[in-house]
Amino acid sequence: MRGLEKPMPKIIQINKFESGNWLKTTANVLDSSGVIGFPTDTFYGLGVNPFDAAAIDKIFEIKSREKNKPILLLIGEIGQLSLVVKKVSREAEILMNAFWPGPLTLLFEAKSSLPNKLLGSGNTIGVRLPNSLVATQLMLKTGNPITATSANLSGNMECRSSDELLNALGDQLDLILDGGNAPGGKASTIVDTSCFPPKLIRDGKVEREKIEAALNTPLD
């Protein structure tokens, strides 16, 4: 019945809304197990509180995502890394110094306090410090990392704008932050730093050659 359909989400145009107001509004949505769509330095992502198991379930449902696939996180500052990972290797420190903030996702051994649903079938968590003012401001406001799986049905094209996101998943979200067009292009590169030598998991915006040059060693 149409009368039971979920209403379309609230949309906030970041450049037309006072910073303190949109941050407070978004933080309240996340605190209430809500799901937001927001721009990153690659594409639009789906954000929830990563310590909220019920909210994580919503992401899997929205994306029709297989339960054994992990969900990566964004952090607003290096200090937030300690909330979600057990340790940082020397190789991870080198890559963080060389490429963060930016489109490089690093895999670390996850802390046991994280919901297992974020980890898929493994014990690592993907983390990135984005070069995105919207995302960074939000995470500094809440004091927590945020999930950043791509805002699309699994297997479909990623969304570069709030309009594309609204058309694809709008009625499934609680809030969309319209920060204009995301850069698009390649997704973030993923490197597993929980092992030695580090292993390239996914090619992306940061080229393999640059990573190997920074580490002065070949990737597995």
Residue 99, domain CATH? 3.90.870.10
Q: Residue 167 contacts by C-beta under 8 Å, 6 or more apart in sequence?
A: none
| Number of compact structural domains in the chain | 1
How confident is the model over 54-95, as pLDDT tens digits? 999 999 999 999 989 999 999 999 999 999 999 999 999 999
| 29 is a domain residue | yes
| 80 is a domain residue | yes
Token pair in block for residue 77: 């500052």
Q: Cα(54)–Cα(98) distance, rounded to whole angstroms?
A: 35
pLDDT of residue 155: 85
What helix, strand, coil percent values describe the chain, rounded to 5? 35, 20, 45
Q: Which residues of the chain have pLDDT under 70?
A: 1-6, 15-20
User: CA 180: distance to chain centroid?
Assistant: 18
Q: Cα(57)–Cα(61) distance, rounded to whole angstroms?
A: 6
Cα angle for residues 59, 61, 64 (degrees, 5° grid): 105
Residues found in the chain: 220
Q: Is residue 75 within 8 Å of residue 145, measured between CB atoms?
A: yes
The closest alpha carbon to 214, from 91, 87, 88, belongs to 91
| 17 is a domain residue | yes
| 84 is a domain residue | yes
pLDDT of residue 2: 43
User: Does the model's pTM come out above 0.95?
Assistant: no
CB neighbourhood size of 73 (10 A): 27
Q: Residue 45 contacts by C-beta under 8 Å, 6 or more apart in sequence?
A: 37, 38, 39, 74, 135, 147, 148, 149, 150, 151
| 220 is a domain residue | no
| 78 is a domain residue | yes
How confident is the model over 174-191, as pLDDT tens digits? 999 998 999 989 999 999
Q: Is residue 178 within 8 Å of residue 13, measured between CB atoms?
A: yes
| 146 is a domain residue | yes
| 187 is a domain residue | yes
pLDDT of residue 9: 85
- Domain that residue 31 falls in: 2-215
